[in-house]
Amino acid sequence: MFCREQAAQLRGIQRQCEKLGNLAIVGNGTAAHARDFQETHGKELRSLVDTKRETYRALGFRRGFRYTFGAPSIVRGTQTVARGFVQGPTKGDAFQQGGTLVLAEGGRPVFFQRSRFAGDHPRIEEVLAALRLAAGAI
């Protein structure tokens, strides 16, 4: 459900992001999982699938039961459900956490966030502001 909420938020800023640079979601699971998510929730978002979770390891993203089912995730989940997003079947590694990386042209990182628990995402305005910064538009 957290990824559905994230995708919905990203679709809301997609046009603004595309004027500034590239926006892509990266998921783990199979290519079929990614295609299914793309059709149902990703829509026009550029979607990449990391079946081996190489990028997740490279960036040191957390993985573990307690980060998925700990108190912070459960509490955050109540918010997400209240906003109308429900949990679907797990398609990918249930214990893998994600994050956000924004880079300037050439690969200079300007913003990085590692999720501490499931549902721990930066505010969507922060992502857009970081991309503006990366594009030199601030």
Cα–Cα nearest to 84, from 53, 41, 52, 55: 41
16 binds other proteins (CB under 8 A): no
Q: How far is the CB of 15 from other proteins (least distance, A)?
A: 13
Q: Quick one: which of 15, 84, 105, 125 contacts other proteins (CB under 8 A)?
A: 105
Number of residues engaging other proteins in binding (CB under 8 A) = 83
Q: How far is the CB of 135 from other proteins (least distance, A)?
A: 5
5 binds other proteins (CB under 8 A): no
What is the rounded CA–CA span in Å between residue 115 and residue 56? 11
12 binds other proteins (CB under 8 A): no
Q: How far is the CB of 84 from other proteins (least distance, A)?
A: 12
b/e sequence 94-129, b meaning 16+ C-beta within 10 Å: eebbbbbebbbeeeeeebebebebbbbbbebeebbb
Cα–Cα nearest to 59, from 21, 134, 112: 112
What is the rounded CA–CA span in Å between residue 50 and residue 20? 25
85 binds other proteins (CB under 8 A): no
89 binds other proteins (CB under 8 A): yes
CA 81 to chain centre: 17
135 binds other proteins (CB under 8 A): yes
- Are 2 and 120 spatial neighbours (Cβ–Cβ below 8 Å)? no
Instruction: Please report, as residue ranges, which positions from 20 to 59 form the binding site for other proteins (by CB under 8 A).
Output: 20-29, 31, 33-38, 42, 46-51, 54-56, 58-59
Q: Which is nearer to other proteins, 15 or 47 (CB)?
A: 47
